[in-house]
Amino acid sequence: MTAGPAITAQLAEGHLVAMAWQNGGRDLELQLERPDGQSLRVLCTAVTGLDVDLHYRKHASGRPHAFECELERTLAGRWSLHWSFPPHGVIALECADLQLLGAAAG
């Protein structure tokens, strides 16, 4: 499945459990655990403008929980992703495509 409203709904709520660069640092793979326990992998291809701004209090840890995901087409035909993790922060990026890869190996 590639970028669109179906992916936005999948990413709107869940815990971020991993981020990893793929294909020599060109693509970014994110792993999300949904409230139903399903683990999803999302591949953002040809990533630019990455902004990862997550904050934790001293001696606090855990997995940031996403409450909102905005996915919009840019004028250049790329995808703009803005993922909110209140109160921890945001992840924002642009990519050529966003692919839902399905369940993560576990």
Render pLDDT for 9-25 as a digit per residue (tens, 0 to 9): 667 777 888 899 999 99
Which helix (H) or strand (E) segment holds residue 52: the answer is: strand 48-54
Reply yes or no on whether the pLDDT at 105 is more than 50: no
Q: What is the DSSP letter of 2?
A: B
Reply yes or no on whether the pLDDT at 32 is more than 70: yes
**What's the pLDDT at 37?**
85
3-state secondary structure at position 5: helix
Reply yes or no on whether the pLDDT at 83 is more than 60: yes
Q: Is the bond preceding residue 87 a cis peptide, omega within 30 degrees? A: yes
pLDDT in tens, 52-61: 988 776 666 6
**20 compared with 101, residue with greater pLDDT:** 20
